[in-house]
Structure 1
Amino acid sequence: MNTSAVEAEKDTVSADGETDVRRRARIRLELAASYLQRGQTSVALEETRQALTTDPRFTDAYHLRGLIYMQMGDLNLAEENLQKAQGMRPNDPDIMHNMGWLQCQKQQYAQADELFDRALSIPTYMDRNKTLMSKGVCLVRSGKPDEAEPVLQKAYEFDAANPILGYELAQLKFQKGDAKHAQFYIRRVNNGNFATADSLWLGIKVERALGDQPAVRQLAGQLHKRFPDSRQALAYERGAFNE
């Protein structure tokens, strides 16, 4: 290789060690992530394709493409891309987490639980609470509420403002006949900015079980105002509280 070629090669590497190829691929991936946040999955997918055309060894591009396919509901292509990313970076807890959540979507609950535990076993993992929540939700789906409850409770201790955790714990408590504790959790959800038709409906059933009719009427008013055509609003009209 002549001197000018060596110099040209050096010019493709930035001060932080990133090659020009990787930099161009990373810019594409940042665009893909932005489009995904806005719900433009097709455009996001095209940007990941461009990133991988530029740099076929870009692990993060396979990872993000897996998440895009998961959001699009194509679990097989999601798994294919997440497996590719995991093969390239096998000890990445974020990839383990997302692969675990994918397995949960596919009702492969044992595999999901194993992947969540592997992610949680990595001391440097920063998003442990996210994985605890997903592990707990997946245990509920797999029909193991008694195992799920302490996991969700542990996650709630660190993230009490999380409406998903509040809802899941309220539902677990209510199903076990503990309406009083269910009320504590679901009221925090419904008094915040993230109430849903599901959370309002659960709140109605909890307050009804405790005999608080004013609270029932107040929640029913919210349900009809915010989600008038929802399945939950129609169930309330029918008095179908045990569906």
Structure 2
Amino acid sequence: MIKLRPIILSSMTLYWVLSGCSLQSARTVAAPEPQPEILIQTPAKPFPTETLYSLLTAEIAGSRAQYDLALSNYVQQARETRDPQIAERATMIARYLGNNSVALEMVQIWVKAAPHNKDALANTSMAYMQAGQLREAFEFSRRLQDEGGEPLFQNIAANAASLDDIQRALLLNDFVTELQSHPEDEQLMVGTGILLQQQGKYDEAMNLTHQALKIHPRSIPAAILEANLLHQLKRDQEAIAKMAALLEFYPDNTSLRQQYARILTHHDMELAQEQFTILTKQLPGNGDMLLSLGIIALERKDTETARKTFEELLDRDLHISTAHYYLGRMADARNDLPEAIIHYLQVESGNDFLSATINLLDIFVRQEDFLSAQQHMNRLRLRFPDQSEALYVLHGQTLVKHNYLLEADVVFSEGLNSFTTSTRLLFARAMLNNQRKRIAAAERDLRQILKQQPDNIAALNSLGYILADRTQRFDEARVLLEKALKLKPDDAAIMDSMGWLQYRTGKYPEALELLQRAFAASPNAEISAHLGEILWLLGNKEEARRVWQAGIKLTPNDPVIQETLNRLKADL
């Protein structure tokens, strides 16, 4: 809560005190911190009465936690008076409320009125950085350094990952130019190294990092950058050893330990879990550390630690949806389906929402609870109407996965009643009809797609393959597949379809060449079934067995390979 001290009015002057604790929440990692007590004097010229009352209204609003009203009044008066103290106050409240655009406008007034004020320069650099205008942020950090303040060079460089290569190159040039004037500045050296790293210039970045560590041997930022570079250069063991040694000197440095733990996740999950356990104690209540610990524990099958960690996240109201998702997965794995359903239903948003929906739908279908599945998907369509088409596809494909083909047909057809031209639903129903050997129905849906999108590669390939595999309409199949190959000549699935057509029309050498290319480009069970079959019929049975075995290894119990073996009476 912001506790704003009141304004004390007199006929001649206006005073107010900024409480440092009142705006503490406005700080970010590298943000300048307001002084605990700053007495701001009025300018020699008194404010008009209207201004005084507007500021009084702002202070009263702040004391009543009406921060939007307080900000509105301060912004209005900052614009009218161009007073640096009022602009400063407006900046701090805007930052507290997360209104970055207003904070940027206010800080521009502040720094223009007080161009040598270190707080103004620091806040301006921060505001430009948050707005993504990094070269402007750099310029104000440079000015801040000239005034003896602590610049934000390292943070600015870290934020440059979102820039394109040209913008980043311009920013890098700014850093290099400034580094020439301050060749031993730690922040400039590390910031320049980060930008070189982002440009993929790892060797140059490493050389600069080594220079920084030679001048600043205990520099944590330089050490973390070195570890990142070693990781990208696939020299993780060196990175791990260096960071472990540095942690002996700085065991309480959580940034260093976090980087150490993250690199360990690629090599030693047990030790990584130990490090994240330490971090959860060093940073109590940090949701990111708890979540990392839970995921790693789950990966290591340490289910007790994982469960306790995810439940702690729920207790602390941190990463709630993600915690429910993983607890749902754990319940699902031990076949406690009622508990899994409860958790999955509470995944509200975020990266895990789709996976939770798929898993929940899968549970309903496995239990043959088609009504619950239908009701849940109806609720989701009402909640996310723009995703309704995709939800029909997801529902139908889940039913297909568990071989409930009639039910899937109903879902796809229902979806097409609402989305009559949906190529996704038409294609999904066509594949279902092909699986059900309803060739005419499959062809109708694929022809409808091609009527809307004549160059739809998936439809061209699928219809061409169906005609080659299930009919004698080889000329039609060839036209479709030749067009698909022309559009995407290196696609393994299309090469497989054309190879199968060549096989079906007796052109074995051409078929063999195409299928071998397809399998080399994308080895999978279906292509291995086709390639194995032609090798077998050409008398190369040992090679055929090797190809089939490779396909089975990729997809054990694949029905296409098994059907091929049975039809040819072949053995492995």
Give the TM-score normalised by the residue count of structure 1. 0.65
Q: Which has the larger radius of gyration?
A: 2
Q: CA deviation at 1:117?
A: 0.2
> Out of 164, 167, 183, which is 2:255 matched to?
164
The code of the aligned residue for 2:116 comes to: I
**More off after superposition, 156-165 vs 24-33:** 24-33
Whether contact under 8 Å (1:107, 1:142) holds in the other structure is no
Q: For the residues of structure 1 that align with 2:158 and 2:139, how far apart are their CA atoms? A: 16
The code of the aligned residue for 2:206 comes to: D
Residue by residue, what CA displacement relative to the aligned partner does 1:50-106 show, whole Å, maximum 9, x if unpaired? 798xx8xx5989x75785465364423321210110122334343212111222233
1:182 aligns with 2:275: no
**More off after superposition, 186-195 vs 27-36:** 27-36
The code of the aligned residue for 1:176 comes to: H
Residue by residue, what CA displacement relative to the aligned partner does 1:186-207 show, whole Å, maximum 9, x if unpaired? 101123247343x334312433
| Correspondence list, 1:61-80, <5 A | 68=156, 71=159, 73-74=162-163, 75-80=168-173
Residue in 2 aligned with 1:227?
A: 319
Residue by residue, what CA displacement relative to the aligned partner does 1:149-197 show, whole Å, maximum 9, x if unpaired? 1121122222222333323323333432451x22321101123247343
> Would the alpha carbon gap of residues 229 and 105 (structure 1) be closer, same or farther in structure 2, given more than 3 Å must change?
farther
The code of the aligned residue for 2:297 comes to: E
1:92 aligns with 2:182: no
Residue by residue, what CA displacement relative to the aligned partner does 1:112-167 show, whole Å, maximum 9, x if unpaired? 11111001112xx3762221122112322333211211121122222222333323
> Out of 293, 296, 306, which is 1:216 matched to?
306
Whether contact under 8 Å (1:103, 1:109) holds in the other structure is yes
The code of the aligned residue for 2:175 comes to: L
The code of the aligned residue for 2:229 comes to: C
> Would the alpha carbon gap of residues 107 and 236 (structure 1) be closer, same or farther in structure 2, given more than 3 Å must change?
farther
Whether contact under 8 Å (1:69, 1:77) holds in the other structure is no
Q: For the residues of structure 2 that align with 1:160 and 1:109, how far apart are their CA atoms? A: 28
Q: For the residues of structure 2 that align with 1:153 and 1:211, how far apart are their CA atoms? A: 26
Q: Secondary structure at the match of 1:101?
A: helix
**More off after superposition, 111-120 vs 132-141:** 132-141
Instruction: Identify unmatched segments of 5+ residues in structure 1.
Output: 1-23
Residue in 2 aligned with 1:153?
A: 244
Residue in 2 aligned with 1:108?
A: 201
Q: For the residues of structure 2 that align with 1:144 and 1:100, how far apart are their CA atoms? A: 18
Q: For the residues of structure 1 that align with 2:266 and 2:136, how far apart are their CA atoms? A: 44
Q: CA deviation at 1:209?
A: 5.3
Q: CA deviation at 1:213?
A: 2.8
> Out of 32, 49, 56, which is 2:121 matched to?
32
Residue by residue, what CA displacement relative to the aligned partner does 1:198-240 show, whole Å, maximum 9, x if unpaired? x33431243335554332112112445311355x86566456x
Q: For the residues of structure 2 that align with 1:155 and 1:144, how far apart are their CA atoms? A: 17
Residue in 1 aligned with 2:290?
A: 200
Q: For the residues of structure 1 that align with 2:230 and 2:221, how far apart are their CA atoms? A: 14
Q: For the residues of structure 2 that align with 1:130 and 1:50, how far apart are their CA atoms? A: 21
The code of the aligned residue for 2:296 comes to: V
> Would the alpha carbon gap of residues 32 and 59 (structure 1) be closer, same or farther in structure 2, given more than 3 Å must change?
closer
The code of the aligned residue for 1:77 comes to: L
> Would the alpha carbon gap of residues 235 and 171 (structure 1) be closer, same or farther in structure 2, given more than 3 Å must change?
same
> Out of 115, 132, 135, which is 2:223 matched to?
132
Q: Secondary structure at the match of 1:226?
A: coil
Whether contact under 8 Å (1:156, 1:162) holds in the other structure is yes
Instruction: Identify unmatched segments of 5+ residues in structure 2.
Output: 1-112, 331-572
Residue in 2 aligned with 1:16?
A: none
Whether contact under 8 Å (1:129, 1:158) holds in the other structure is no
Whether contact under 8 Å (2:157, 2:195) holds in the other structure is no
Give the TM-score normalised by the residue count of structure 2. 0.31
> Would the alpha carbon gap of residues 88 and 167 (structure 1) be closer, same or farther in structure 2, given more than 3 Å must change?
closer
